């Protein structure tokens, strides 16, 4: 396993010196347990079929397990009553039914939404690295992004297993059910800003960040130090946006 964060640009091997290409399944496990060697190969010979199938399958299975156990209507009704206390019970029930149905559709569409999000992340990271003098193509960036997403699929599997043994859960509980982030330390309703921040500091997210650093250091041919600065900086911006939206929502509730 390659380790260490240095100033040496990470360069994929020359085509003639490349070892026999690993299968997609081997790359998936390699991304988790030997990221240096695996992402070096992915940067030289990018592919995305295996991780794409894995992400779609697990996202869909997770939705099938989770959707029947989430009371979407109660969540929507509570949000409606908080934002508009003067709303009549009949109007709140009607809005809750419509909002709950829409939330279920969006939950089942999670594989597509995840794919769109991965495309955006790959494009943003590639743009950031190219802006900072790095190299790489979108195919390389997308391949690295999908393989870096494997820890999130591990989290989804663990979450689905936990859900199978439980009854109804709230949308907030889903974010802390695996106990991989400190979001469970605060009440999301009483302290939405703190919850948004703490739930972002997630073990599986950090694992993904590390894999992105390995992958893009090879794709962009930059040092791991520079790759760390770029990837972590964008992650911090994402966290600040999440906290900012939570603060905006909290202020609107109090208004």
Residue 13 domain-assigned (yes or no): no
* Nearest CA among 195, 244, 214 for reference residue 151: 214
Q: Name the band, by pLDDT with cuts 50, 70 and 90, for residue 164.
A: confident
* Nearest CA among 56, 59, 26, 58 for reference residue 42: 26
Stretch 69-90: mean pLDDT, rounded? 71
Residue 41 domain-assigned (yes or no): yes
- Beta-carbon count within 10 A of 230 CB: 22
| Residues spanned by the domain of 52 | 20-254
Q: Name the band, by pLDDT with cuts 50, 70 and 90, for residue 212.
A: very high
CA distances 128 to 43, 120, 211, Å, are 17, 12, 17
Beta bridge partners of 169: 70
Residue 114 domain-assigned (yes or no): yes
Number of domains in the chain: 1
Q: What is the pTM of this model?
A: 0.84
Residue 24 CA to residue 3 CA, distance in Å, equals: 22
For tokens 């997308």, what's the residue? 142
Among residues of the chain, what percentage have pLDDT more than 90? 53
Stretch 105-120: mean pLDDT, rounded? 90
Residue 254: predicted pLDDT: 61
State the average pLDDT for the chain. Answer: 86
Among residues of the chain, what percentage have pLDDT more than 70? 86
User: What are 137's two structure tokens?
Assistant: 């193509």
Residue 239 CA to residue 236 CA, distance in Å, equals: 5
Q: Name the band, by pLDDT with cuts 50, 70 and 90, for residue 2.
A: very low
Residue 126 domain-assigned (yes or no): yes
Backbone torsions φ then ψ of 169, nearest 5 degrees: -130, 160
Q: Name the band, by pLDDT with cuts 50, 70 and 90, for residue 1.
A: very low
Residue 13: predicted pLDDT: 54
Residue 145 domain-assigned (yes or no): yes
Residue 4 domain-assigned (yes or no): no
Residue 12 domain-assigned (yes or no): no
């Amino acid at each position: 396993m390659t380790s260490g964060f240095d100033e040496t640009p990470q360069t994929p091997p020359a085509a003639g010196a490349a070892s026999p290409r690993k299968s997609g399944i081997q790359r998936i496990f390699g991304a988790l347990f030997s990221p240096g060697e695996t992402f070096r190969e992915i940067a030289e010979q990018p592919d995305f079929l295996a991780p794409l199938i894995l992400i779609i399958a697990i996202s869909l299975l997770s939705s099938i397990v989770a959707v029947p156990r989430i009371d979407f209507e109660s969540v929507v009704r509570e949000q409606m009553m908080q934002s508009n206390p003067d709303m009549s019970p009949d109007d709140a029930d009607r809005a809750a039914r419509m909002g709950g149905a829409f939330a279920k559709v969006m939950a089942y569409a999670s594989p597509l939404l995840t794919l769109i999000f991965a495309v955006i992340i790959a494009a943003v990271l590639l743009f950031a690295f190219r802006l900072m003098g790095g190299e790489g193509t979108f195919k390389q960036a997308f391949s690295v992004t999908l393989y870096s997403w494997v820890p999130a699929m591990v989290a989804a599997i663990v979450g689905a297993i936990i859900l199978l043994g439980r009854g109804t859960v709230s949308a907030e509980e889903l974010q802390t059910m695996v106990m991989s982030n400190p979001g469970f330390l605060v009440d999301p309703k009483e302290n939405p800003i703190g919850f948004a921040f703490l739930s972002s500091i997630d073990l599986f997210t950090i694992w993904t960040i590390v894999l992105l650093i390995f992958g893009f250091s090879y794709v962009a041919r930059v040092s791991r130090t520079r790759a760390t600065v770029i990837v972590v900086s964008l992650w911090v911006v994402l966290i600040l946006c999440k906290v900012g939206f939570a603060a905006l929502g909290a202020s609107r509730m109090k208004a």
